[in-house]
Amino acid sequence: MGNNPTYKELEEKLQQATQILDALQSHKADAVIGTDQIAMMRLKEVEDQLRKQIQISSNRLKEIESIYKNVPVGLCILNTDLEFIRINNHLAEMNGIPADEHIGKTISELLPNLNNDIEAKLEKVIKKGESQMNVEISGETPAQPGLKRYWLHHWLPLYSKMDNKLLGINMVIQEITDRKKYEQKLKKLNESLEERVQARTESLLSYQSQLRSLASQLSKAEEQERQQLATELHDNLGQMLAMGKMKADLLHNEDLPEETISKIDEIRDLMDDALSYSRKLISDLKPPPTLKEDLLSSMEWLQNKMEDHGLKVILHDDGNSKPTTEEIRTTLLQAVRELLFNVLKHTEVKEARLKLLRHKDQVKIVVEDKGEGFNPDEIAVSEDEGGFGLFNVRERLDLLGCSFNISSEKDEGTTITILAPLKNGGKEEEETEQIPEQSLSSKGGHKIKVLLADDHKLVRQGLKKIINAENDMTVVAEAADGEEAIKETRKVVPDIILMDVNMPVKNGIEATQEIMKEMSQVRVVGLSLHDDEKVTKSMREAGASAYLTKNEAFKTLCATIRSEASVTLKN
Amino acid sequence: MPGDAMGNNTEQQSNPDIIYQFILFIVKGGKNSERAVDNLQALCNQWLPNRHNIKVIDVVKEFETALEYNIVLTPSVVLIDPEPQTIIYGDLSDSERFLNVLNIKRNLDGK
C-alpha cells in the first residue's frame, strides 16, 4: 500500500465524503466536528425559523407600512441633522410637497414659512433626548399658500435597538386649523354674549335705578303734598281759627249783655275744638320742625302720634348719640311710621317695640311686633296699600344706603331691622354752645319795645292791637319771616320779640339762634300753633326765654311780656 | 465489555458468533441525533435481535473519542465489530442503505 492509497481505499473515502455531503445537504447533521471544536448545526430548523420570522416580519412591516402611509395623521422621521428620512403621504399632502422630495431635506429648506422656531426646538429634543408633546406650530405651506394653518406636534426621540444610539426624531403631527377656527369663533361668540349680558345688565340696572328714583319721587311728592296740605291748614284755616278765637276772647272781655257773653263763650268753645282738631290734623300731616334736630325726639314724637292712633309703642334707646343727616332722619321717620301703621293695619296687636341702637358707624332701628307674621316675599310684591308702602320704604332706604331686613314667620311675629349710616361716620359734632340767658336792657320808664315776627298779617294785626292797647308796651317793628325778623331786630333792637315758629325763608328757631348770637340782650318769646313740648324745647334751646301757643296768647301775652321785661329790669 | 454496552445483551443468544458492536456519536438534544438513536435501535431490534451492542457517545462530552474515530459530523454511527470498521453519517432514516453498507443482509443470508 505504502503512500499510495488503493482504489478501494479511495472509493471508500469518496463514499464517506458523499455520505457527509449528503447528510449535510439533507440537513441530517446536528454538529460538525473540527480538530478542536464542534460546530452545532441546526440549519434546517434555523432556516425554517428564519423563514417564518421573515414572513411574520415582512407581514408586519407591510401592515405598519400601510398604517404609516394611510393614517390620517402626519408622520415623519428626521435624522439628527433634522433631515427627513421618512414621511407618510398624509404629511406630504399637508405640506403640499411629494413625499420623496422631502427625503434628505430639512424643514426650513422645504417649509420656510413655518413660525415658532421649530428647528431650534427640535435641536433641543436631539440634545436632551427627551420627548416633547403638544407643541403648537403655525404658518403657511405650499399646500395652501396664503392661509395660516395650525398643527399640534409630538416629538419622540428615536433610539437604535442595537446600541441605544439616538437616530433622530419620530414626529406625529395633527392639523388643528379647523379646531382653532372654531375656538376663535367660540371665543368671539362668548365675547359678544358677554357684551349682550353686560348691556342687558346695564339696562336692568338703569330700570332699577329709574324705579328707585320714581319711588323716591313718589315718596317725596307724597311728603310734599302732606306738607302743602299741612301748610294750607296752618296758614289759612289755623290762623283764621286762631284769629277768630282771639277776637272772640276780646269780645268776651267787652262789656256785653250776659246772654251775648254766653253765646260768645259757646263760639269760643267751638273755636277751641276746631283749633285743637286742626292742630292735630296739622301735626299728623307734618312733623313739627323740632324733628330736624335728632332721631330720638323724632321717634318720641312718632311714639305719641301712634298712641293717638291706638298703637302703644315701647321705645328703647341705647343712649348713644346717633348723628344723622336730615334726609336720612326724615326717611327713617317715614319708614318707621309706615312700619308702625302696617302693624296697626295688618295685625291684631296693639303694641309694638321700637329700638334705637348705635351699631358701630350705623344706627340700627328695630321694629318688632308679636302679630301673626307674614311672608315677606308676598308683601313685597303685593299691590295693596301696605305692600306698596313697604316696597316704597325699601326703595327709599336703599337709595340712601340703608339696609332693610324683614324677618317674619307665621304666628311668630315680625322683626324689621333697618341699618342706616351715621353722619360723618358717626363722629361727634361740636355741640352748639348754649347761649347763656341774658337779660335785656330795658330803660325804666320807657315802654317795652316789642317786635312781631309772624308770616300772617292777620295774626300780627291781632297781636299788635292787644299789645298797643297796653300802656307799658308798644310794637316797634313787624316781620313776615325769620330773615326779616333778624334784619328788623338789628335795626330797632327791641326788648322783646314775639317769634312765630313756622315761618318761610327762615323759621323761628333758626332766626332766634342767629339773633341770640348777635344780640343776646334781646329776649325772644316763642309763638306757635303747636302746643308741643318738643317745639318748646327747641325754641328754648335756640335762645327763647318763653313760649306761648297762639290760642293762649291773648290770656298770657301781656303778662309774659311784662315778666320777661322785668327780668331785664331786675338785672 | 458487556457491562459497558447499551441495548440488548448478547449472552443468551443461541448463535452468538457475531455480535455487532456500534458506537453512535450524537449531540444531546439535536433533532437528527435523537432520530438516529431511535432509528438505530429499531434497525438493530429488527435485524440483529440480541446480536448487537450500542454505545452512545455525546460528542460535546466526549470530544476526544469523536476525534479518535475521525468523526466529522453527528449523528454518525461506527460499526466497530465485525471488521471492517465502517462509518455511516446521518440520522439512519434510510434503512436500505444502512443494511447495504454494513453488509448485514448478506452476512445473515450467508448463515
Give tens-digit pLDDT for A450-463. 999 988 887 888 78
Q: How far is CA A534 from CA A301, A415, A549, A556, B31, in A?
A: 8, 29, 13, 20, 130
- Beta carbons within 10 angstroms of residue A242's beta carbon: 25
Alpha helices in A347-433 (DSSP H): 376-381, 385-399
Question: A30 and B26 in contact by Cβ < 8 A?
Answer: yes
The predicted pLDDT at position A104 comes to: 94
Phi and psi at residue A498, in whole multiples of 5°? Answer: -90, 110
Nearest Cα residue in chain A from B58: A31
Cell digits of residue A546: 318763653
- Beta carbons within 10 angstroms of residue A415's beta carbon: 17
- pLDDT category at A360 given cuts 50, 70, 90 is confident
pTM, to two decimals: 0.35
- Identify all chain A residues contacting B89, using CB atoms and an 8 Å cutoff: 16, 19-20, 22-23, 28-29
The predicted pLDDT at position A96 comes to: 93
The average pLDDT across A166-194 equals 91
Which residue of B65, B74, B91 is the best one to mutate when testing the A interface, meaning the one whose CB has the most A CBs within 10 A?
B74
Among residues A233, A309, A225, A236, the alpha carbon closest in space to that of A278 is found at A233
Phi and psi at residue A176, in whole multiples of 5°? Answer: -125, 25
Q: Which residues contact A377 (CB under 8 A, 6 or more apart)?
A: none
Q: Which residues contact A524 (CB under 8 A, 6 or more apart)?
A: A496, A497, A499, A512, A515, A516, A539, A542, A543, A544, A545
Alpha helices in A233-325 (DSSP H): 239-253, 258-285, 295-308
Question: B73 and A24 in contact by Cβ < 8 A?
Answer: yes
What percent of chain A stands above pLDDT 70? 87
The predicted pLDDT at position B111 comes to: 43
Among B59, B60, B90, whose Cβ lies nearest the Cβ of A28? B90
- Give this complex's ipTM: 0.74
At residue A227, does pLDDT exceed 60?
yes
DSSP state of A344: H
The predicted pLDDT at position A376 comes to: 61
Among B27, B87, B88, whose Cβ lies nearest the Cβ of A31? B27
- Identify all chain B residues contacting A41, using CB atoms and an 8 Å cutoff: 73
Give tens-digit pLDDT for A383-424. 444 444 666 677 778 777 788 888 887 777 888 899 988 877
Q: Does A256 touch chain B (CB under 8 A)?
A: no
- Identify all chain A residues contacting B30, using CB atoms and an 8 Å cutoff: 30-31, 40, 42
Q: How far apart are CA A102 and CA A433, in angstroms?
A: 100
The average pLDDT across A455-475 equals 83
- Cα angle: A122, vertex A123, A124; to 5 degrees: 90
Q: Which of residues 26-85 of B touch A (CB under 8 A)?
A: 26-27, 30-33, 59-60, 63, 66-67, 71-75
Q: Which residues contact B68 (CB under 8 A, 6 or more apart)?
A: none
Q: Does A31 touch chain B (CB under 8 A)?
A: yes
Cell digits of residue B103: 453488509
Mean pLDDT of chain A: 82
At residue B7, does pLDDT exceed 60?
no
Name residue B29's beta-bridge partners.
none
DSSP string, A193-241: HHHHHHHHHHHHHHHHHHHHHHHHHHHHHHHHHHHHHHHHIIIIIIHHH
Q: How far is B82 from chain A, CA to nearest CA, in Å?
A: 17
Residue with more model confidence, A566 or A317: A317
- Identify all chain B residues contacting A16, using CB atoms and an 8 Å cutoff: 87, 89
